Amino acid sequence: GETFVNRTPPQKEEETGIPAGFSINQVVPWGRGYEEYVRYFHLTGADLPLRIIDCGGGPSDFTAERHRQGLPGCSADPLYHFSREEIRRRIDETYPMVMEQAHRYKDAFLWDDFASVEDLGRRRMATMDRFLEDFEPGKAAGRYVAGQLPTLPYAADRFDIALCSHYLFLYSEQADLETHWRGIEEMLRVAPEARLFPLVTLRGERSPHLDPVLERAAARGWTATVEPVPYEFQRGANEMLRLRRPLPA
């Protein structure tokens, strides 16, 4: 994905949870925008009014923009344990490091949607600013909930669609198959449909967990399809996994 810092086991709280002794200093916030979500989850006009949960949304503005449009949904992420001021400070601390990594790995990405690395940085920062503007009132209203896969603090079928961006499959080297499967089971507990993007690893290779997940989904009687999406920034990352389970009788 676009987390350029330490392309080794992630120390991002929004992707790993909060183990004992974890602190804001291990977080590398990097928020993605609403329009990107629409494209890489291929969200249609029929999808958008539905109840959507963003699993591991971090400092994305997806939930903030949906709230602005009067649409239902929320985002769950361990990042939300921290205050607005702590998140803002960490964004400012890590931004130069992220930008240096963006320049270093520039050739691993397609630059059709961004004019330059600097343009990417400006737009990411604007996205995170929009998130921060909504964070405190949104947290009070329940739009931002401190939680993580594979244990979300919601009842079954609380949502219509569960999304997971730039965690499962992307970090296949750091998260094993069982971690992936438990996360997907949880997404399909809280919603009858789950969508995950991208399906490649940090190295740009097809995730080795994808085929086993497809096999397990078929064995459970779930519908699982790999679908092209109208988005590609990381080279080769242009497909999502859509899973659907039967609705309860």
Dump pLDDT digits (tens) for 143-173: 999 998 999 999 999 999 999 999 999 999 9
227 φ/ψ angles, rounded to the nearest 5 degrees = -125, 140
pTM of this prediction?
0.90
In this predicted structure, what is the pLDDT of residue 4?
36
- Cβ–Cβ under 8 Å, residues 242 and 198: no
Mean pLDDT of the chain: 90
In this predicted structure, what is the pLDDT of residue 224?
98
DSSP line for the chain: ----S-SSS---HHHH---TT--GGG-------HHHHHHHTT--TTTTTS-EEEET-TT-SHHHHHHHTT--EEEE-GGGGS-HHHHHHHHHHHHHHHHHHHHHTGGGB--SS-SSHHHHHHHHHHHHHHHHHHHHHHHHHTSEE--BTTB-SS-TT--SEEEEESSTTTTTTTS-HHHHHHHHHHHHHH-SEEEEE--B-TTSSBPTTHHHHHHHHHHTT-EEEEEE-S--SBTT--EEEEEE-PPP-
In angstroms, the CA 115 to CA 131 distance is 23
In this predicted structure, what is the pLDDT of residue 248?
72
In angstroms, the CA 225 to CA 222 distance is 10
In this predicted structure, what is the pLDDT of residue 23?
65
Dump pLDDT digits (tens) for 203-216: 999 999 999 999 99
- Cβ–Cβ under 8 Å, residues 157 and 125: no
In this predicted structure, what is the pLDDT of residue 234?
95
Which residues of the chain carry a pLDDT beneath 50?
1-22
β-bridge partners, 52: 73, 161
Give the count of beta carbons closer than 10 Å to the beta carbon of residue 156.
Answer: 11
User: Parallel, antiparallel, or unpaired: how do β-strands 223-228 and 239-244 relate?
Assistant: antiparallel
In this predicted structure, what is the pLDDT of residue 3?
38
Vertex 42 angle, CA 40 and 43, to 5°: 120
